[in-house]
Amino acid sequence: MYIKGRFILDEQGRTLILRGCNLGGSSKVPADPPGASRLPDSLANPTAVSFVGRPFPLDEAAAHLDRLKSWGFTFLRLIVTWEALEHQGPGIYDEAYLAYLRKILLLMEERNMQAFIDPHQDAWSRWTGGDGAPAWTIEKIGMDLERLDAVGAALTQQHYGKFHKDAYPRMIWPTNYSRYAAATMLTLFFAGKTYAPETQIEGENVQDWLQERYLACMRHAFRRLKNCKALVGWGTMNEPQPGFVGCRDLETLENAVLTQGALPSPLEAMALASGHPMETPVYTTGIRGIRILRRELINPDGVSLFKEGFTCPWKRAGVWTDGEGRPQLLRRDHFASYEGKNADFVEHFLTPFMERCIERLRDADPAAIFFIEGIPGGRHPSWSPEKHPLVVNAFHWYDGLTLYLKSFRPWFNINTLNRKIVLGRKRVAAMYAEQIGIGTAWTREHMGDIPCLLGEFGLPFDMNRRRAFKTGDYRLHEEALSMYYDAIDAHLLHSTIWNYTADNTHEWGDLWNDEDLSIFSEGRGRALGGWLRPYPMATGGIPLGMGWNRKKGRFWYRCHLNPSISAPTEIFAPLECFGTNPALTVDCPGGAVRAEYNQEARRIYLWNDGFEGEVLITVQAARDTVCRK
């Protein structure tokens, strides 16, 4: 696999369209002891954990991989957290876990499957309401892990019942990006030299120290795994966020990923962490926008988050003070500027980090492909492929209304870009394609037209009050997923759906923060009609367009064939879509292209006998297959 312009090609020169999934959702939590977020004790003893068995036990791996391959998912985004690699302490790597990953990659290689490793994080770590970084990164700043929830610095599912009377709220975890612990750690990691120059760890600025540990860990893992042929590359970091960077007024809630529930302003968050009880606004977000419902007292006992000998890094940096016994803001716009300009997180901090990450890892494998991401739903980086080649823009997209409300209506949505109501199936489908197109357009105009991968998208299977779990009727899920894939097809995008969780159950979902987006549960696929569909896997030329009408069982694909490529064009053609005897029609001048359906291989092959030019192939499912849909 290699990159040429905006295309990814195989060793035979064919243009690939990569399809697969994220493997897997429960890889965010340890396998031993069980680390599911619902378990109150799953944050205890952070050094005594193991991720061996994520994404699935080794003795089950072959069955899972065979299933994925039969679904046409031959390209996988393999979820690996920093914590999984280095939980015992700085520089102490889990070699047993790396040996396990090698065995998984070898099993992929046997099946001609490929993967890239995604260093995954959400809201920094499990102790700050997400996943990713080891606990010791937080402790090095002086934070007490046992006090994070008590002072409102984090909101974890593990400890929610201890501090709240109601049930863990639906999709509340993204609010942790606005809480003290995650916002502080992300700011220090990306921009500590600029905004907290006084904060050091072991005599080194906090930014340099944290980034060096992260990069050294990823480089060590890459060196251990680089000889696995199935491993084509590495990501830089999942869904990076700015923390406090760019905030213009620390008494106003900014950079919020989700404005929901009791959320302090940055100043209030800093005061809470230093032991000041605060009444903070309780927000709700709806069709009409954001409203404040009431105020809620947080940290009523005045507990300090910091261990003895440590203090808030922002207090040390002169951002605020409580020298007179109450919080006072000293630098309202402390995070708003960078070297005399308005601070731009992506340009000034994220892009240099990604460049540094690629340089360090490329030293381990010059042929590796790197997958980079901007802010989800926000800015993408600008990029020079001449300076940093072999890079893919692996942006993410979700149907925001459906994801956060866990409810789907195909004829109704809200455009998150302008908050306008969208009515009608065709208009909703067009909105999906338009939103995904923003990422491809940015890549074309500002990133040197490098390849694009939709690294994450997906659907909450527990939507509509979990009705499908009781009835077994997934038709609405299938319609939603089919609309998403139609938008992906419209842009000829590479894609990896979120996610495949081997141990997903209807009761506990993906085992992390009450999410349930796995296409596999309790031993079988869910809503296959929405995502099990034909697509051109490898084209002996240039893809031009495609479409799949699942209700009529009709697929079309248009491409420009190159006579110098002798290997056939391969179209994934699942039996479930086409039956045993689909009708194939090839439209090309002179009839020089042959089409063949191989039911066992689940492929349609186009054999090019020296023809150059455009070809249109139409595939119509067998009549009995259409009738069964």
Q: Which two tokens stand for residue 84?
A: 């999984």
Q: What contacts 315, CB < 8 A, 6 or more positions away?
A: 270, 274, 321, 322
* β-bridge pairing 535-539 and 204-205: unpaired
Q: Which of 86, 239, 355, 479 is catalytic?
A: 239
Which residue in the block uniquely carries the two structure tokens 């009431």?
294
Minimal CA–CA distance to 135: which of 154, 150, 160? 154
* Residue 560, beta-bridge partner list: 542, 614
Q: Which two tokens stand for residue 523?
A: 């031993």
| Distance (Å, whole) CA 545 – CA 324 | 67
* Residues 597 and 613: beta-carbon distance below 8 Å: no
* Residues 186 and 313: beta-carbon distance below 8 Å: no
Which of helix, strand or coil describes residue 296? strand
**One-character DSSP codes across 511-534:** SSTT----SEETTEESSHHHH---
**Per-position b or e across 573-604, b if 16+ CB within 10 A of its CB:** bebbbbbeebebeeebeeebbebebeeeebbb
Q: Which two tokens stand for residue 379?
A: 């800015």
| Distance (Å, whole) CA 292 – CA 402 | 23
* β-bridge pairing 114-120 and 231-235: parallel
Neighbours of 399 (CB within 10 A): 23
Q: Which of 86, 456, 479, 515 is catalytic?
A: 456
Write out the H or E segment, with its range, that includes residue 392.
Answer: strand 391-393
- Does residue 596 carry a catalytic annotation? no
* Residues 447 and 382: beta-carbon distance below 8 Å: yes
* Residues 533 and 551: beta-carbon distance below 8 Å: no
Query: How many whole angstroms from its chain centre is CA 33?
Result: 25
Q: Which two tokens stand for residue 426?
A: 């065709």
| Distance (Å, whole) CA 524 – CA 504 | 10
* Residues 436 and 485: beta-carbon distance below 8 Å: no
- Does residue 456 carry a catalytic annotation? yes
Instruction: Using alpha carbons only, give the angle 361, 367, 369 rounded to the nearest 5 degrees.
Output: 70
606 dihedral zone (left: phi>0; alpha: psi -120 to 50; beta) = beta
Backbone angles phi, psi at 427, to 5 degrees: -70, -40
Query: How many whole angstroms from its chain centre is CA 317?
Result: 33
Query: How many whole angstroms from its chain centre is CA 277?
Result: 35
Catalytic residues: 239, 456
